[in-house]
Amino acid sequence: MFEEAAFREKMAGLERRYNELSALLGDPGVISKRAEFAKLSKEHADIDAMVSAWAVYVKTEDDLAQAKAIVAESDDADMRDMAKEEVKELEESIDEQQQAIKVLLLPKDPLDAKNIVLEIRAGTGGDEAALFAGDLYRMYMRFAERFNWKVEELSSTEGTSGGYKEVIVMIEGKNVYSQLKFESGVHRVQRVPSTESQGRVHTSAATVVVLPEAEDVDVQLNESELRFDVYRSSGPGGQSVNTTDSAVRVTHIPTGTVVICQNEKSQHKNKASALRVLRSRLLEAELAKQEEFERDQRRDLVKSGDRSDKIRTYNFPQDRITDHRINLSKRNLKSILDGEIGELIDALRAHAQAEALDKGLD
């Protein structure tokens, strides 16, 4: 947990910087320099919430000191009782305020504001795994609707009995990555398949990968390192769904990364979509090198699609979903698969914040 002295020193420094920025933003010389003004304005906005919360915290500390003084010095019994009650309430409020400020002080993930490439693939379990991948796809699409996010399907391969063997979509909107970055991993389902005549519960799995969208400035692609192949798009069972060579397969030769896009009738559009996915995969690979331990754990988690490498289980017979990373279980699978996953996401984010707080204040 943050040390008290470090916490106060950090807030005092932020308060000084905030006042400096306020003065600079009122300086005509700074206002006339558009780029500098924009940079300082962003910094000012970034620390505004922290400084405002700190001002409330300091005021609460003053109120607490006054209440304690009344308890210690007043000759009026009723006044002391009222002050004791106020001390209790203010102490609880201070603890909550301090925790909230410490969360605000945590370093921001620079990827949080990015759009994402969402990849869902059927894992072990045959046709039932493809059906479950379809259920997960619908769950995330319904969740996206709640935020009015824009969804663009980049590539998909349907299962022979429905659902998807693989589906890749781009999701664009405010802070998409921050909301869905904890969804990467193996999702396991336990239920009686519609094809099961004996009523036996089957277990199958699907993998979910959430990649921050990489822009040109994030990943530079050298045309000489790319190989493009075009062919006719195919649907379930291998039947041709297009009479022209519109499907595109792009291979990044140095890494061997392959992306296929075939949903559009236009070869040009499929090529553009494939390059967007490729950039995001290469960005994720680069991040894996920079954050080896954390990212290696994540890659190990999602690499196989095996039922044992699970982060979450959807148990239909017991109408229960369990996230194994934080030992959290929720009922009402129907509503969750209908996109109501906000509580799970909030719990995962809170858990990550608590872990970060335990590491202390730099």
Dist CA 14 CA 33 (whole Å): 24
Say what the pLDDT of residue 340 is. Answer: 96
H or E element, residue 132 = helix 127-146
Q: Which parts of 150-202 fold into alpha helices (H)?
A: 176-180
- The tokens describing 237, both together, are 């069972």
> How far is it, in rounded angstroms, from Cα 169 to Cα 149?
12
Buried b (16+ CB within 10 A) or exposed e, 8-36: eebbeebbeebeebeebeeeeebeeeeee
Pairing of the two strands 310-315 and 185-191:
parallel
pLDDT values of the chain reduced to their tens digit, one per residue, 362 residues: 457 888 889 899 999 999 999 999 999 999 999 889 998 998 899 899 999 999 999 999 999 999 999 999 998 899 999 999 999 999 999 999 988 888 888 878 888 888 999 999 999 888 999 999 999 999 999 999 999 999 999 889 999 989 999 999 999 999 999 999 999 999 999 999 876 667 789 999 999 999 888 765 567 788 888 888 887 666 554 444 555 567 888 888 888 888 888 877 778 888 888 888 888 888 877 777 766 644 454 454 444 444 446 999 999 999 999 999 999 999 999 999 999 999 999 999 989 888 887 776 44
Q: Amino acid identity, residue 304?
A: S
Residue 64 to residue 66: CA distance in whole angstroms: 5
C-alpha distances (whole Å) from 168 to each of 3, 214, 269, 340 are 45, 15, 15, 21
Give yes or no for a contact between 99 and 164, defined as CB atoms under 8 angstroms apart. no
CATH of domain 116-177+190-324: 3.30.160.20
Confidence at residue 307, expressed as pLDDT on a 0 to 100 scale: 44
Helical axes 292-302 vs 267-290, angle rounded to 10° = 130
Q: What angle do CA 295, 182, 118 make, to 5 degrees?
A: 90
Residue given tokens 């500098």 in the structure block: 36
Tell me what pLDDT residue 151 has. Answer: 95
Q: Cβ contacts of residue 327 below 8 Å, gap of 6+?
A: none
Domain ranges within the chain, ordered by starting residue: 4-105, 116-177+190-324
Identify the H or E element spanning 260: strand 257-261
pLDDT for the residue numbered 130? 94
> Which pLDDT value is given to residue 195?
65
Give the pLDDT confidence score for residue 193 in this predicted structure.
Answer: 83
